[in-house]
C-alpha cells in the first residue's frame, strides 16, 4: 500500500524479524494508532516467517496497520540501497527509521581471542557503520515526511560515566576479573560491544547536529537490560541476572515514535530519564 492511498506514518525497523525489533512491531500494533510498517530483515525468508506469525497473532480484520517485509542487511551497502529503493516504490516516503539491527560478538571474540581484529571490525561495521550508511541512504525519503524521526537503539553499557557504577546490573558488567592472563570466560564480556555502542553515541550526536535545521528528530533510545539473543547467552540465562522481557523496551520505543519524549530529541534517553554519554 503506497502513501498515496494511506497517509498513516511509514515506519521501517531494521533487524525486526526477532527480538526487540519484532516486539516493537507488536507494541505498535497494540497501540491502535494506524501505521504502515516495514519489517526489515537481513534474511528474507526469516522476515517472511516473522510476518506470517504477526499476521496470525494480529489478523488484518483486527488492525488498521498493513505490514510488509523489506530485505535489508546493514553489513551490505548494496542491500541498504536496494531497501531504500523498495521503500521508495512502496511508500514514496519514510516517517520513522528505527535503527535496531545490531550485534554483540563478545562470545565469538572470547573463542577466537580478544586480539582478533576481524571480530572488532565486524562489530563496528554492524553497530556503527551500518546505521550510518542506512541513515544516509534513507534521508531523501525521511525529508519527504512532515514529522521525520530517526531512532538509534543504543546500549546502557555504552555510557562512559556509567562505567564507574556498580549498582544493580552495573555490578556485573563493570566488575573486574581476577588477576592473570588470559582471562577466564565470564558472564560480562562487553569490551567490543560497549566500545562500538559508545561510538554510536557520538554518531547520534553528530546526526542531530547535521539534521537540526531540517526538522528531523533524532534519538538514541536505550531500551534497558532485556532478555534477548543479542549476546548469545540466551533469554533465560539473562532473566536470571535481572534482564526484562523485550516487550518492556518495545513499549518505550513506541512512546518515542508517538512523540511522548519529543522534549528530549537529540539526546540519549532511557525510560526513566536521560542516559549520560
Question: What's 190's domain CATH number?
Answer: 3.40.50.720
Residue 45 pLDDT? 98
Mean pLDDT of 160-170: 89
Residue 37 has pLDDT above 80, yes or no: yes
Residue 108 pLDDT? 74
Is 4 part of a structural domain of the chain?
no
What confidence category does residue 142 fall into, taking pLDDT thresholds of 50, 70 and 90? very high
Is 85 part of a structural domain of the chain?
yes
Burial of 31 (0-12, 13-18, 19+ CB in 10 A): middle
Is 149 part of a structural domain of the chain?
yes
Task: Show the 3-state SS of 161-198.
Answer: HHHHCCCCCHHHHCCCCCCCCCCCCCCCCCHHHHHHHH
> Rounded to an integer, what distance in angstroms lies between the CA atom of residue 141 and that of residue 148?
9
Mean pLDDT of the chain: 89
Q: Which domain holds residue 41?
A: 9-274
Q: What is the pTM of this model?
A: 0.92
pLDDT digits (tens, 9 = 90+) for 49-97: 999 999 999 998 778 899 999 999 999 999 999 999 999 999 999 999 9
Q: Which residues pair with 219 in a beta bridge?
A: 151
Is 2 part of a structural domain of the chain?
no
SS3 state of residue 219: strand
Is 50 part of a structural domain of the chain?
yes
Positions marked catalytic: 155, 193, 197
Residue 211 pLDDT? 98
Q: Which residues pair with 152 in a beta bridge?
A: 99, 220
What confidence category does residue 213 fall into, taking pLDDT thresholds of 50, 70 and 90? very high
Is 1 part of a structural domain of the chain?
no
> What domain count does the chain have?
1
Amino acid at each position: 500500500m503506497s502513501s498515496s492511498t494511506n497517509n498513516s506514518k511509514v515506519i521501517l525497523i531494521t533487524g525486526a524479524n526477532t527480538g526487540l525489533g519484532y516486539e516493537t512491531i507488536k507494541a505498535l500494533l497494540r497501540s491502535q494508532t494506524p501505521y504502515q510498517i516495514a519489517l526489515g530483515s537481513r534474511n528474507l525468508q526469516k522476515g517472511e516467517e516473522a510476518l506470517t506469525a504477526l499476521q496470525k497473532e494480529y489478523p488484518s480484520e483486527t488492525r488498521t496497520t498493513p505490514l510488509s517485509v523489506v530485505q535489508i542487511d546493514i553489513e551490505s551497502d548494496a542491500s541498504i540501497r536496494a531497501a531504500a529503493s523498495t521503500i521508495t516504490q512502496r511508500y514514496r516516503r519514510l516517517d520513522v527509521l528505527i535503527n535496531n539491527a545490531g550485534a554483540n560478538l563478545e562470545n565469538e571474540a572470547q573463542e577466537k581471542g580478544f586480539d582478533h581484529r576481524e571480530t572488532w571490525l565486524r562489530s563496528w561495521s554492524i553497530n556503527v557503520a551500518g546505521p550510518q550508511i542506512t541513515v544516509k541512504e534513507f534521508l531523501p525519503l525521511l525529508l519527504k515526511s512532515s514529522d521525520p524521526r530517526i531512532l538509534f537503539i543504543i546500549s546502557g553499557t555504552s555510557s562512559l560515566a556509567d562505567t564507574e557504577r556498580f549498582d544493580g546490573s552495573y555490578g556485573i558488567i563493570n566488575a573486574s576479573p581476577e588477576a592473570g592472563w588470559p582471562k577466564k570466560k565470564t558472564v560480562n564480556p562487553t569490551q567490543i560491544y560497549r566500545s562500538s555502542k559508545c561510538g554510536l553515541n557520538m554518531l547520534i550526536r553528530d546526526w542531530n547536529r547535521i539534521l537540526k535545521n531540517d526538522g528531523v528528530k533524532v534519538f538514541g533510545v536505550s531500551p534497558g537490560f532485556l532478555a534477548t539473543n543479542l549476546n548469545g547467552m540466551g533469554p533465560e540465562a539473562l532473566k536470571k541476572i535481572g534482564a526484562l522481557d523485550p516487550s518492556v523496551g518495545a513499549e518505550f520505543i513506541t512512546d518515542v515514535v508517538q512523540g511522548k519524549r519529543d522534549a528530549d530529541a537529540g539526546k540519549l534517553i532511557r525510560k526513566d530519564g536521560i542516559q549520560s554519554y
